Amino acid sequence: SGSLLKVENLTKHYPLGAGFLKKPSSVVRAVEDVSFSVEAGETLCIVGESGCGKSTVARLLMRLVDPTGGRVLIDGADIAGLTKHELRAWRRRMQMVFQDPYSSLNPRLTAGQIITEPAENFERLNRKQRNALAADLLQKVGMSPEMMHRRPSEMSGGQRQRLGIARALSLKPSLIIADEAVSALDVSVQAQILNLLVDLQQQMGIALVFISHDLGVVEHIAHRVAVMYLGRIVELATCEALFAKPVHPYTEALIAAAPVPDPTRVRLEAPVEGEVPSPVNPPRGCAFHPRCPLAVERCRIEVPPLVPIADGRVVACHVRAPATYVPAAASSSLA
């Protein structure tokens, strides 16, 4: 009940435009029946290959798109039912850090203007207040206050991402959603930005939903990890448990493909044999079955349900986590 954020059976299908494929019933099944929760101050990482629906989850959380099904609850309230005023308050508590800070920062504004802009949407600041806020935010992200006069084009990639983080912090959010926030940066800069995010999160008690294809980065910062494959969560576990003993064959393959000692160097472009199938016509049954070494007949027919294993871990696999009868009352409390 006490979760800051709760996602229940979230689903997003995009209809395909006419003329792209002739079949009018075709949909992109971007997100399918996704459930998770995030506690105050917690880091939940969502990991998976590109095209698995991670970014769509982020957009659904921000209510930038509406779900096809399911719901997003903030402090128990469904964001679909929020009034304009409440949605504004929600957007204030939830901030986003993007992959490419350059394209998300207005090149015409100075750093000081960029990072104080969200606050000024909510309250009028005079020049002195604005400069004080900018200096404070820049210091929080490890930059000198003089940087407030620079423009994004006069900054390095790492500095721009610090700026993106400062901007996200400006409203003292309860939750930050970071979508591939370090993926565009050099490896050496990635570690600095990750450490900064984790430090700030701990100091300020901010919850973080960190979306990444990079398992090495995830291992470094996650409290819990949700592994997505073709729109669905296939395993969700504490970070320690997941890396110590992956249960889903896809998680196992991802981790096996990333045995690099320096966690900031891991790159998972195509860690598993075979291509990721299209979310337009995902394979029947378990979507992973065409690539899975353990697949049995049932995997081609039935979608495996997410089954609780131990320590809060859930896994969707007929072989590794066979479903047993769970009374309805008990199963409803699993998400």
Beta bridge partners of 253: none
- Which amino acid is it at 221? I
Q: How far is the CB of 277 from ligand SF4 (least distance, A)?
A: 12
Does position 152 interact with ligand SF4 (CB under 6 A)? The reply is no
Does position 55 interact with Mg ion (CB under 5 A)? The reply is yes
What is the 3-class SS of 284-303, one letter each residue? CCCCCHHHCCCCCHHHHCCC
| Residue 55 touches which of ligand SF4, Mg ion, none (Cβ within 5-8 Å per kind) | Mg ion
How far, in Å, CA of 290 to CA of 247, rounded? 18
| Residue 226 touches which of ligand SF4, Mg ion, none (Cβ within 5-8 Å per kind) | none
| Residue 304 touches which of Mg ion, ligand SF4, none (Cβ within 5-8 Å per kind) | ligand SF4
Nearer to ligand SF4, 101 or 249 (CB): 249
Q: How far is the CB of 274 from ligand SF4 (least distance, A)?
A: 12
| Residue 299 touches which of ligand SF4, Mg ion, none (Cβ within 5-8 Å per kind) | ligand SF4
- Looking up tokens 């007949």 gives 297
| Residue 268 touches which of ligand SF4, Mg ion, none (Cβ within 5-8 Å per kind) | none
Nearer to Mg ion, 59 or 289 (CB): 59
Find the radius of gyration of the CA atoms of the chain.
Answer: 21
Nearer to ligand SF4, 157 or 285 (CB): 285
Tell me if 235 sits within 8 A of 34, measured CB to CB: no
Query: How many residues bind to Mg ion according to rule CB under 5 A?
Result: 1
Lookup: tokens for 71: 């719901």
Which run of H or E residues covers position 203?
Answer: helix 187-204
One-character DSSP codes across 35-92: EEEE-TT-EEEEE--TTSSHHHHHHHHTTSS--SEEEEEETTEEGGG--HHHHHHHHH
Mention every residue, 6+ apart, whose C-beta is less than 8 A from residue 281.
Answer: 26
Name which of 206, 186, 100, 196 is nearest 142 in CA terms. 196
Lookup: tokens for 296: 């049995």
Question: Is 333 exposed, middle or buried, given 0-12, 13-18 or 19+ CB atoms closer than 10 A?
Answer: exposed
Q: How far is the CB of 314 from Mg ion (least distance, A)?
A: 23
Query: How many residues bind to ligand SF4 according to rule CB under 6 A?
Result: 14
Nearer to ligand SF4, 155 or 227 (CB): 227
Report 274-333 residues binding ligand SF4 (CB under 6 A). 286, 288-289, 292, 294-295, 299, 304, 317-320
Report 208-247 residues binding Mg ion (CB under 5 A). none
Nearer to ligand SF4, 233 or 286 (CB): 286
Nearer to ligand SF4, 265 or 298 (CB): 298
Nearer to ligand SF4, 187 or 256 (CB): 256
Report 216-275 residues binding ligand SF4 (CB under 6 A). 248-249
Chain contacts with ligand SF4 (rule: CB under 6 A): 248-249, 286, 288-289, 292, 294-295, 299, 304, 317-320
Chain contacts with Mg ion (rule: CB under 5 A): 55
